[in-house]
Copies of this chain bind each other. A is one copy, B any other.
Amino acid sequence: MNSLNDLPTPAALLDRARLEANIARMQRRADALGVALRPHVKTAKCVEVATLQRAAGARGITVSTLKEAEAFFAAGFDDILYAVALPPNKVDAALALVRAGCALRVVVDSLAAAQALVALARGARQRLSVMIEIDSDGHRAGVAAESEALIAIGHHLHDGGMDLCGVMTHAGSSYDCTSPQALVAMAEQERARTVRAAERLRAAGLPCPVVSVGSTPTALAAGHLAGVTELRAGVYAFFDLVMTGVGGHGVCGLADIAMSVLTSVIGHQADKGWILVDAGWMAMSRDRGTQAQAVDWGYGAVCAADGTPLPGLVLRGANQEHGIVHAEGEAACDPDTLMMRYPVGSLLRILPNHACATAAQHDSYRIVDGDRVTARWARFGGW
């Protein structure tokens, strides 16, 4: 299988040169900031991608499900942070991974979860490595750096015999920043609050060796990471349209986006300036992450089959297996021209709003080196 023309459509494409450049860029960034990089593998869920990240210098991985932890552990990744608060019904699966030899770290952000975790681990005569999640921006989970709960959770874990290995946060609000200044400020807030939480734990006589922060936007915006030991980021490996707009100016360009969806033209409503393609929301996901940004890319930005952006062509509509590309602005033309330029059967590539969501709609990536398809890499799904 050597050519895009040989692929079924829709299909997820991964441009190897862009992928490797993106991985190298974030590793250089972590090196310059003096912290370890622990990539979040929830974007790609792909052993080959994580292997490239490790080869570039990453230390350990971050996962969003225990299914990922199990799959990556089976593939030889044994230093894993499961970055979602662990409820009681997942403790057994976490303990099983530890028994099998995985250096797994889990997360809690409440005394209730800490109590359940300690009780179940002690009942199994096992020890879990646990991080406390810090709420650094009010967007989701975590305890406040200044809270009583932080110290109470720390004591319960440590005194209960668990390995209290540190604090972690994810400043997801960074995705909503609309200026470079706001992004820099959010990165500093993420750092400062998490470091403060670590200092409070240590002042209470508790261990806190690891201070883990990160998101792709804050990782690329941070002025310094004093007091931080590790950086987590995920979507940078692929980048996406949201990342071209975050912080107003974006943290990448269209030409950095490594993942795209190959699609076939299946028809037209030429009078309306519409090209119908076989990439609907099943192939793109329903993610509309650029809706509130300065440039709203609909369900995706349209490129020629070779990856060259086609300004004015946007995937505005998506049903399950139908995508509706609108020809707007400079791309608007008469019906005959539209059908001649993009005839039935021709191929286009669509860049995704949110690579994590679009990748999740596919079971594998077709690896593109220049104009050749050189491999197919599987990805995990499910729980």
Q: List 24 A-B contacts (CB under 8 A).
A: A8-B89, A8-B93, A10-B383, A64-B321, A65-B282, A84-B266, A84-B322, A85-B266, A87-B264, A87-B344, A88-B345, A89-B345, A90-B264, A110-B268, A110-B344, A112-B339, A112-B343, A112-B345, A113-B266, A140-B317, A172-B319, A281-B287, A286-B354, A288-B288
Additional 6 contacts, C-beta under 8 A, given A112-B339, A141-B276: A42-B320, A64-B320, A88-B345, A113-B266, A140-B269, A286-B354
Closest 4 CB pairs of A and B: A286-B286, A112-B344, A88-B345, A85-B266
List CB contacts (< 8 Å) of A333-383 with chain B.
339, 343-345, 354, 356-357, 360-363, 381-383
Contact with B along A286-327 (1 / 0, CB 8 A): 111000000000000000000000000000010111101000
B9 x A89 contact (CB < 8 A): yes
A319 x B10 contact (CB < 8 A): no
- In the assembled complex, A285 has its CB within 8 A of some CB on chain B: yes
Size bin of chain A's contact surface: 35 or more
Q: Binding site of A, secondary structure by majority: helix, strand, loop or mixed?
A: loop
Which residues of A are in contact with B by a Cβ distance under 8 Å? 5, 8-11, 42, 64-65, 84-90, 93, 109-110, 112-113, 116, 135, 140-141, 172, 264-269, 276, 278, 281-283, 285-288, 317, 319-322, 324, 339, 343-345, 354, 356-357, 360-363, 381-383
A344 to B117, CA, bound (A): 11
A93 to B278, CA, bound (A): 15
B276 x A88 contact (CB < 8 A): no
A281 to B212, CA, bound (A): 24
Q: Which residue of B lies closest to A276 (CB)?
A: B141
B87 x A266 contact (CB < 8 A): yes
B172 x A345 contact (CB < 8 A): no
Q: Which residue of B lies closest to A270 (CB)?
A: B110
Q: In the complex, which residues of chain B have a beta carbon less than 8 angstroms from the beta carbon of A93?
A: 8
Q: Within the complex, what minimum Cβ distance (angstroms) separates A130 from chain B?
A: 14
